[in-house]
Amino acid sequence: MAVRVAVNGFGTIGKRVAAAVVKQPDMTLVGVAKTRPSFEAREALQSGYRLYVTGAGDPAEFEKVGLRTAGRIEELLQDVDVVVDAAPDRVGQENARLYQKAGVRAVFQGGEKSEVAEVSFNALANYAAAKDHRTVRVVSCNTTGLARAAAILTTRWEVDHWEATIVRRAADPAETKRGPLNGIIPTLQIPSHHGHDVNTILPNLHITTTAVVVPTTLMHVHVNNVRFRTGPKSAAELVEALRRTPRFHVFSRWEGIQGTPQVMEFARDRGLGRSDMMENVLWEEGVRVDGRTATFFQAIHQESVVIPEVIDAIRAMFDLAPDAARSIAITDRALGLSGPG
């Protein structure tokens, strides 16, 4: 029987999770919850989702603009096996009590501290760790991107030390109140929190991260420097390994993908929905292996990269698939991700 899923919060993450759940063969979307009426609330209804009111929201506000709601979040929680919390950063922590009281399992986002859940999660890195847990936290977009790459590289080779500079997008495309408009803001905490967050999933990885914020809305870019004890012999070998792995997309030079704007153009043309790019994105010529050191760029679409991970987290919690590979295959086929190649 399909796992019954609620999505609490219907912004950047919530609406994508809802759309992804609907496509899964072993899950059912029971409803979504939102605080205030907006174009997104209407689209939820037009997508056929049942709409509930959450947080400080007032059903009357929805009624007033003709949006029919099915009740409050508490009612929704009574009908589901698991809730995906997609509330703004730090609100998930407050919601945790609500979920516990309702006796439903919960998937939290990376904007919450790791203490919010029993385990932090990434499908390629520690799928099995989520098995049978009642609360799981899918790590943030940047941590997901790093954890995926680290999972592959540490599985095949011996990594001595990983250094990454994270060039962060300053805001999502529709977040119009955030800057900077013109300038670079270094994250004046060294190392940045990202490396520590990767260690919630890969505790033995020696990783150090630094970060800067730049005025773009499209994607983050990671500059990775990986020192191996034993590593790939060539860039080609590393590229080949990643090309054979799900959730990695490696562009070739002839494709003309100069940077994140063209990656997004590719994603718009590919048409998986909302111009999303759920894979780690690499450039074939943006990978170098020199002795025991590999250097490579990867771009991470902050809005969508965690979506397949949320799906896998549910599958792991409910033991719906025998292993990571099988869960990932189901998820990715449902989402239209082309898979390795």
| Contacting its own copies within 50-69 (CB under 8 A) | 64-65
39 binds its own copies (CB under 8 A): yes
180 binds its own copies (CB under 8 A): yes
102 binds its own copies (CB under 8 A): no
Q: By CB under 8 A, name the one of 156, 199, 216, 241 that touches its own copies.
A: 216
Backbone angles phi, psi at 180, to 5 degrees: -85, 150
Q: In this chain, which stretch among 105-113, 128-136, 252-260, 329-337 interacts with its own copies, using CB under 8 A?
A: 252-260
Q: By CB under 8 A, name the one of 58, 68, 183, 236 that touches its own copies.
A: 183
291 binds its own copies (CB under 8 A): no
Residue entry with tokens 């009281």: 101
Shorter beta-carbon distance to its own copies: residue 57 or 286: 286
Q: In this chain, which stretch among 88-96, 123-131, 177-185, 321-329 interacts with its own copies, using CB under 8 A?
A: 177-185
| DSSP character at residue 11 | S
- Length of the chain in terms of residues written: 341
20 neighbors 45 (Cβ within 8 angstroms): no
45 binds its own copies (CB under 8 A): no
282 neighbors 242 (Cβ within 8 angstroms): yes
Calculate the dihedral angle through the C-alpha atoms of 316, 321, 325, 326, rounding to the nearest 10 degrees. -150
105 neighbors 81 (Cβ within 8 angstroms): yes
105 three-class SS? strand
110 neighbors 197 (Cβ within 8 angstroms): yes
Residue of 205, 246, 272 lying closest to 328 (CA atoms): 246
Specify whether 302 is catalytic. Answer: no
234 binds its own copies (CB under 8 A): no
Q: In this chain, which stretch among 72-80, 122-130, 139-147, 248-256 interacts with its own copies, using CB under 8 A?
A: 248-256
Q: Least distance (Å) from its own copies to the CB of residue 219?
A: 7
158 binds its own copies (CB under 8 A): no
Which residues form the catalytic set?
141
